[in-house]
Structure 1
Amino acid sequence: MKVLVLVIKLRASWVHSLKEKRMILLSITKRLKNKYNVSVGEVGEQDTHKIIQIGISQVATSKDVLYASKEDIITFIEENCEAEIIDIEEEIIDF
């Protein structure tokens, strides 16, 4: 069993409140869960309204599947979210 762990940090410079940030976060997490069957949640920067930090995890039997999924997820976020990706941390864990 292999586990993909991604931490993606986004900058939304036009956001002026935590409420606006939550709306963006809710939208992107719902779409990622529905499209890629991943677990998604806010994992940091919870008190900063211009920075969104999300954690994404997925389980598969092959690293190749996880690498392909990782690229698809990053592309999806770039194309469907107005916020700019400023940092990506990734790890694939073997069990």
Structure 2
Amino acid sequence: MIIGTAKIYLYANWVHSLKEKRMIVKSLIAKVHNKYNVSIAEIENQDYHKSIVLGIACVSNDTRHANSMVQNVLGFIEGNTDAIVERTEIEIL
């Protein structure tokens, strides 16, 4: 069993409230769920309205497939949000 995980740090400087941030995060999570078969959730900085940290995980039987899935999801997130990607952390276990 191969587990692919990623943590993506986003910065949304136009967000002015936690309510606005929640709407953005919920929308992004729903889009990822509809397109990819991965688990995704907001995992850190939930009380900071300009910072979004998402955790992604997938299970596969092949390292290349798990890495490909994680890379595709990260690319999708980057292309579907106006937030700035500060950094990403990828780990294949």
- Flag structure 2 segments of 5+ consecutive residues without an equivalent: none
Please tell me the residue identity of whatever aligns with 1:15.
Answer: V
The aligned residue for residue 41 of structure 2 is: 41
Cα displacement (A) at 1:33: 1.2
Report the TM-score when normalising by structure 1: 0.93
Distance 1:27 1:44 in 2: 17
- Flag structure 1 segments of 5+ consecutive residues without an equivalent: none
Moved over 3 A (4+): none
Cα displacement (A) at 1:70: 1.8
Cα displacement (A) at 1:89: 1.0
The aligned residue for residue 31 of structure 1 is: 31
Task: Tell whether the 8 Å contact from 2:56 to 2:70 is kept in structure 1 after alignment.
Answer: no
Aligned residues: 93
1:18 partnered with 2:18 = yes
Percent identity between the two aligned chains:
42
CA RMSD of aligned residues (A): 0.8
Distance 2:79 2:57 in 1: 20
Cα displacement (A) at 1:51: 0.4
1:66 partnered with 2:66 = yes
Report the TM-score when normalising by structure 2: 0.95
